[in-house]
């Protein structure tokens, strides 16, 4: 399905109004049916829906790996993806969305989700990245998002080494874009513990936790992080970089991974 739709727009500018056809981002409702039960409806860009579903389940700790999925069927016209698993976490399903305020990893960061606090582990990668390489990656990344250029309405995420892009996805939701990356990576067996994530979206706690759970050591955004994301990043050993634009960037946590 196309990621965009055509709509008729009245464009107003300089006192003049004209009717034109314009392209806007498509928003699509995808319901995940897991082993016969409805789990959630995601509002997303209708592309790479298998990766989105697998990535979402992995991010939520409901499955550990692509191997846990026996069958996956996307019914694009119905907005449904059905997954049959060989092994899924009953605890994670049961606790899905449930709150717990708990301190993780013995140091004091606060998780608001029970499963996240259980899945918490320190990212101990000894990866080092040159600051200039990150800025070069971001320059390339900014040029990649054709959908954004056309519609102004989507986020992009990219998985890369310090030199080259490996995976790239776009979605109207910044969480979905990252889940598509994670879904494709686990499907293709790509190691994540020595890679970077680039994102156009803000780095909130949810984005940080998704990346940390897969052992990804560095997240770079052209936008801002939140304080909770930085707190969790310090706790979990993830390097958070924000406002990476042009020749500048801010490093918020685990700063020793960056080489100048």
Closest contact distance (angstroms) between CB of 258 and a copy of itself is: 7
Q: What are phi and psi of 232, to 5 degrees?
A: -65, -40
Closest contact distance (angstroms) between CB of 34 and a copy of itself is: 13
The footprint of a copy of itself (CB under 8 A) covers 4-5, 7, 9-15, 17, 22, 24-29, 31, 38, 40-41, 43, 78-79, 97-99, 101, 110, 112-113, 131, 151-153, 172, 202, 204-206, 223-230, 243, 247-252, 255, 258, 260
Nearer to a copy of itself, 68 or 116 (CB): 116
The rounded distance, in Å, linking the Cα atoms of 27 and 154 is 10
Q: Which residues pair with 155 in a beta bridge?
A: 171
Strands 196-199 and 155-160: antiparallel
Nearer to a copy of itself, 8 or 71 (CB): 8
Chain centre to alpha carbon of residue 212: 11
Nearer to a copy of itself, 183 or 242 (CB): 242
Nearer to a copy of itself, 27 or 124 (CB): 27
List of residues 6+ apart from 173 with CB closer than 8 A? 42, 43, 44, 45, 155
Closest contact distance (angstroms) between CB of 179 and a copy of itself is: 17
Nearer to a copy of itself, 192 or 208 (CB): 208
Active site residue 105: yes
The rounded distance, in Å, linking the Cα atoms of 107 and 236 is 10
- Among residues 105, 120, 144, 160, the one annotated as catalytic is 105
Closest contact distance (angstroms) between CB of 257 and a copy of itself is: 11
Q: What angle do CA 115, 122, 233 make, to 5 degrees?
A: 85
Chain centre to alpha carbon of residue 80: 21
Closest contact distance (angstroms) between CB of 245 and a copy of itself is: 10
| Tokens linked to 64 | 């550990």
The rounded distance, in Å, linking the Cα atoms of 139 and 119 is 34
CA dist list (Å): 107 to 29, 153, 158, 249 = 39, 39, 31, 28
Which residues form the catalytic set? 105
């Amino acid at each position: 399905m196309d990621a965009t739709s055509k709509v008729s727009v009245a464009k107003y500018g300089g006192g003049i109004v004209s009717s034109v056809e314009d392209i806007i981002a498509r928003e699509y409702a995808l319901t995940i049916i897991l082993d016969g039960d409805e789990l959630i409806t995601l509002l997303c860009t209708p592309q790479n829906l298998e990766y989105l579903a697998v990535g979402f389940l992995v991010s939520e700790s409901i499955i550990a790996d692509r191997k846990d999925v026996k069958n996956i069927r996307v019914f694009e016209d119905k907005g449904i993806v059905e997954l049959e698993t060989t092994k899924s976490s009953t605890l994670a399903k049961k606790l899905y969305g449930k709150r717990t305020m708990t301190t993780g990893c013995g140091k004091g960061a606060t998780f608001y989700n029970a499963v996240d606090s259980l899945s918490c582990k320190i990212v101990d990668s000894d990866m080092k990245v040159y600051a200039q390489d990150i800025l070069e990656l971001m320059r390339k990344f900014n040029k990649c998002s054709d959908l954004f250029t056309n519609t102004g309405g989507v986020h992009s995420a990219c998985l890369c080494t310090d030199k080259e892009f490996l995976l790239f996805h776009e979605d109207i939701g910044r969480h979905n874009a990252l889940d598509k990356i994670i879904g494709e990576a686990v499907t293709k067996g790509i190691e994540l513990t020595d890679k970077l994530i680039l994102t156009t979206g803000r780095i909130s706690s949810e984005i940080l936790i998704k990346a940390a759970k897969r052992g990804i050591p560095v997240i770079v955004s052209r936008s801002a992080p939140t304080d909770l994301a930085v707190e969790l990043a310090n706790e979990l050993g993830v390097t958070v970089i924000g406002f990476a634009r042009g020749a500048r960037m801010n490093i918020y946590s685990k700063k020793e991974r960056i080489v100048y």
